[in-house]
Amino acid sequence: MRLFKDLLRTAAVPLPGLLLLALLLTGAAASAQEDAAPWRTPEPLTEQDREDLLRAEDYLNQIGTVHGRFVQITSTGHFSEGDIYLRRPGELRFEYDAPVPLLLISDGHTMVMYDKSIESASQIPLSQSPLWFLTRDPIDFTDTVEILAVERGQGALLVSMLGRSALGRAQVDLLFSDSPLELRRWSVVDEQGYIIQVSLVDTQFDVALEDSLFQYRDLPNVGLEERSGGDN
């Protein structure tokens, strides 16, 4: 419950994050022992919890495309922002504002992190990203993640879950405003306890998005002709 209250307390401040995803892509994060994992303890789901999970699933599955701004902050105090584009299934683009040189693109199969400052790219299969389930079609909370808790309060709904990423497991918390339901923020906690929070700002849904937003082969020195893994 403390995490939920903390999220609500900061709801008026645009919060934040994908640096964790960048760490996962570059292999900079290390796994901790499972018994030291900083995640919350699973709580038994009530009938109300299950109903709210179905509502959240239905809402997310109705989203085809998203364009907006994101604001990111990490538990170490790093702040950044930029533009987010989502086209389900599988396509994502996070373009960071200067001076952050990062560009993250998913074409539906592979997630690529491109560092514009050195024209270098890293990749993982999209299925190994901690946010993979958000791009799926359909989204099903009972399929690939473990639900840790569902909480309600102050016109908001929090869904906390445990999923698996490229370098281990990660807790993902989705914060929705309610009446009507709308995704406002997510946070990711890795096995080290490193936290990223990402807020969505000026969000537009079901807008036309160009195919080129989700293509990365024309970026300088990408060189990703050979692929490993997939989105199975």
Q: How far apart are CA 193 and CA 190, in angstroms?
A: 5
C-alpha separations of 41 from 20, 44, 158, 184, 210 in Å: 22, 10, 15, 24, 42
In a domain, 231, yes or no: no
In a domain, 220, yes or no: no
| Number of domains composing the chain | 1
**CATH code at position 19:** 2.50.20.10
| Residue the block writes with tokens 């939920």 | 4
In a domain, 127, yes or no: yes
pTM: 0.79
pLDDT tens column, 54-96: 999 999 999 999 999 999 999 999 999 999 999 999 999 999 9
Range of the domain at 182: 2-214
In a domain, 20, yes or no: yes
In a domain, 229, yes or no: no
pLDDT tens column, 105-150: 999 988 899 999 999 888 888 887 776 777 888 888 887 789 999 9
In a domain, 86, yes or no: yes
